[in-house]
Amino acid sequence: MTEKEGTQPGQTVCSDTTDDGVSMVDILEEEKQLESDANAVLGGSDDNNCTYPNGYVGRQALYACTTCGNGREVAGICLACSLNCHEGHQLYELYTKRLFRCDCGNSKFPDMKCKLFPDKDATNKHNRYNQNFKGVYCICSRPYPDPEDDVEDEMIQCVVCEDWLHGRHLATKFPPDQDFHEMICADCMKKCDFLWAYIPQCKNTCVVSKAEVGSPDDKVEVDIKSEEKTEGSLTEEVSVKKDDNGDLHASDSCLLKSLHNCEVVPGDSSVFWPDGWRKKLCQCASCLELYSTLDVGFLVDETDPVQHYEDKGKAQPTSSQYDTGMQALSSMDRVQLGEMIHGYNDMKNSLREYLKTFAENKRIVREEDIREFFGQMEARKRRRTDNS
């Protein structure tokens, strides 16, 4: 037993005795990170109450049930319904979708009623569905993970259509600072071609060619008129100036009109946008009308970005297993700590070997398989106890 460097005064932990060993604090630290990641994904979602009464929720975790779907229309259900109404079903985890109202038990599910909120309209006419609700993603329309694809690849979500695309199908490596970039796919950039005018406004924007599949290092050079032709120039409509940060601003009420003087040539490309790019979009009356017509008004909603959703989830007060575990550790003596660590390492190694056979034979792990494993572990524990 040793005092682990970096722990709080009075906290004693078991040191590693083998290369594969792990301390209980390491276990709890890993659990803490998993809790944080889970809170971010769920965004503070309620796991007990259906979100239907809240209307079209700005952003929420959603699931699609293939057990109930049975080839019928696509539908989405909230977290609470996935746990209470579809327990044991095969679900597609959709991560988050915006402005969606829970479908559980409506006309898309003719053979069931929602247990949490059965009184629902037959349909949610403002819901938007894409191929993700059928369990496929990207321009290749494949499942994720794809059992027939052995290429390791990251996927990233388009902030407009909310589909997920493989990095290789974006024909680019992700920007170095991935944490604060948002991506708009080539098809959505074509739909929202006004966004090309904002590229000079957004420093470090990464534009990549959809056509250059197989050449991830290639980037598109955006054709922009020289700065001398845009800064301070006059047109019949408006003059354009730059502030101390180098951002363009119009003297009339519409910045977009001014930016068109830069003559960015739209391309067949996906675009990675840097942090804060949405704040640079014009919000005059004519532009807001344009966003509404294109059904992209969410672009100027400060609560829409996934980063805002995840931060909200992380800020939710929760009962942390890390804190509970650390409190339990402080009350244990050294013998109990040693037994706990050895027990955990034994379970970890045994579970790895047990699941290895499923992976090698490409078998699905069922609930009864997990029960069988822990039954075997309990039997082994009893035999050790009887022999001691």
pTM of the model: 0.65
- Sign of the alpha-carbon dihedral angle for 178, 181, 182, 188: negative
Distance CA 187, CA 199 (A): 17
Measured distance CA(209)–CA(269) in Å, rounded: 4
Secondary structure (3-state) at 209: strand
Integer CA distances (angstroms), 179 to 32, 160, 207, 258, in order: 20, 18, 17, 31
Q: Partners of 157 in the beta sheet?
A: 164
The whole-number pLDDT of residue 172 equals 58
Tell me the pLDDT band of 202, cut-offs 50, 70 and 90: confident
Rounded CA separation 330/313 (Å): 29
pLDDT value for 217: 41
Cα–Cα distance, 325 to 159 (Å, whole number): 38
**Tens of pLDDT, residues 366-387:** 767 777 877 777 777 677 666 6
pLDDT of residue 167: 85
Peptide bond into 200 cis (omega under 30): no
Asked whether residue 3 carries a pLDDT value surpassing 50, the answer given is no
Sequence-separated (6 or more) residues with CB below 8 Å from residue 121: 106
Residues 186-202, mean pLDDT to the nearest whole number = 90
Q: What pLDDT, on a 0 to 100 scale, did the predictor assign at position 309?
A: 79
Distance CA 211, CA 213 (A): 6
